Chain A
Amino acid sequence: MRYIEPHAHMVSRVTDDYERLVMAGCRAVCEPAFWAGFDRSSPQGFYDYFKQLTEYEPRRAAKYHLPHYCWLCINPKEAEDPGFAREVMQLIPEFLAAENVLGIGEIGLNKNTRNELAILEEHIDLAVQHEQLILVHTPHLEDKLKGTRLILSALQNNPRIRPECVIIDHVEEHTVREVLDAGFWAGITLYPISKCTPERAADILEIHGRERLWANSACDWGPSDPLAVPRLALELRARGFSEQDLDDFLFANPCRFLRQCEKFRVES
């Protein structure tokens, strides 16, 4: 089996995880910029983080012959301080040319505030200006439904946004339909407690089909499983998915979306 891990925070993982991903059939890992678990004290902290994502992490992955890609932004949680967020955003353009940068992400909302929304809109403008793909984080738990709707309107209010170039991540049963119906891609995140289990993810695929959908582990510093995607493959086999179906969903689908960025070069 081969697959793409389209959302993993490898800076928070040990090197053994790279080895395990490769042994499970992973052919590329993509790492969105996110919240470190604590607020950074200065924009310079983000400069160092962007260096880590564009220079150090790809080297660490390369030791296992695993292509490493990334996405850049200031995460929605720290976007609550718009002055700080704008200083960080000024650093982004100089990194966009790096050969492993796929686009702007994971932008979005955390607590659905006005400040977060303003910075989300500015990130959308930045992506449009630089012709970048967008990866969107939707809020957690009780905030997800409202946040997903606010995000959809922010994207739809920008006339230059092409929905096929945007993936809205962390969808669940109550948000997946609205995202797909609006023409965007949707990501299913496999988390033991707070997002989807392999069983529920398989249900979503049975109900909504697999067009414009991908699955990821979003593994980070919290309870999460870097091998969540191959675990989903086990569940899908039990549901009667063929090896061809698995390859199409877990490998070809992420490639279809990511190849819209010419830097994503994973051979079929």
Chain B
Amino acid sequence: MPNPEDIVDRGFLEARGKLLEVAAFLDRAERYGRADDYRVVALKKALATLSDSASASQRADAFLRAMSDPTEQPLDRATTGPAAGAWQQSTE
């Protein structure tokens, strides 16, 4: 590859800013009494994969898997509403 621009120069401030948004979002959810919402819980759990040495070099992949429905069988009927971004175990 011919002289790619410095990858850290280009991405660092944006990544820092996005991570700060995550930190502030988790604080906000807590302050509003929503820390136990399944999406917030899933996000915190998936965050742990970022610092887990097992996901080195595949953090994006590991994050997406952690947020995914782990079941294999098709559902009997569609759930209502759009996809939420985090998997919630069915209570039926």
A114 touches B68 (CB 8 A): no
A112-B75, A142-B67, A240-B4 known; A173+B60 contact, CB < 8 A: yes
Task: Provide the residues of chain A in CB contact with B82, threshold 8 Å.
Answer: 140
What A residues does B75 contact at CB under 8 A?
A: 111-114
In contact, B3 and A142 (Cβ under 8 angstroms): no
Which one of A83-91, A145-153, A225-233, A260-268 is at the B interface? A145-153
B85 & A146 in contact (Cβ 8 Å cutoff): no
A240 vs B4: C-alpha distance in the bound complex, in angstroms? 5
Residues of B within 8 Å of A2, CB to CB, are none
Task: Output the nearest chain A residue to B3 by Cβ-Cβ distance.
Answer: A240
Question: In whole angstroms, what is the CA distance A116 to B75 when docked?
Answer: 10
The reply to whether the CB of A14 lies closer than 8 angstroms to some CB of chain B is: no
Residue pair A142, B11 in contact (C-beta under 8 Å): no
The total of Cβ contacts below 8 Å across the A-B interface reads: 81
Tell me whether A174 and B74 are in contact in the complex, defined as CB-CB below 8 angstroms, given that A145-B69, A238-B5 are known contacts: no
Q: A112-B75, A114-B74 are in contact. Are A142 and B4 (CB under 8 A)?
A: no
B91 at the interface (CB under 8 A from A): no
Chain A min CB distance to B72 (Å): 7
A220 interface residue per 8 A CB criterion: no
Is A5 in the interface zone, CB < 8 Å from B? no
Chain A interface residue number, banded: 20 to 34
Residue in A146, A172, A242 whose CB lies within 8 Å of B64? A172
- A142-B76 CB under 8 A given contacts A174-B68, A239-B4, A240-B2: no
Q: Look across to chain A and name the residue whose beta carbon is closest to the beta carbon of B14.
A: A199
With an 8 A cutoff between CB atoms, is B23 at the interface? Answer: no
If A115-B77, A145-B69 are given as contacts, then 11 extra A-B residue pairs at C-beta distance below 8 Å, sorted by A number, are: A111-B75, A111-B83, A113-B74, A113-B76, A115-B78, A141-B67, A143-B69, A146-B70, A173-B58, A173-B61, A241-B1
- Please give me the 10 A-B residue pairs with the lowest Cβ-Cβ distance, nearest first: A240-B1, A140-B83, A240-B4, A111-B78, A141-B83, A174-B64, A145-B68, A173-B61, A173-B60, A142-B87
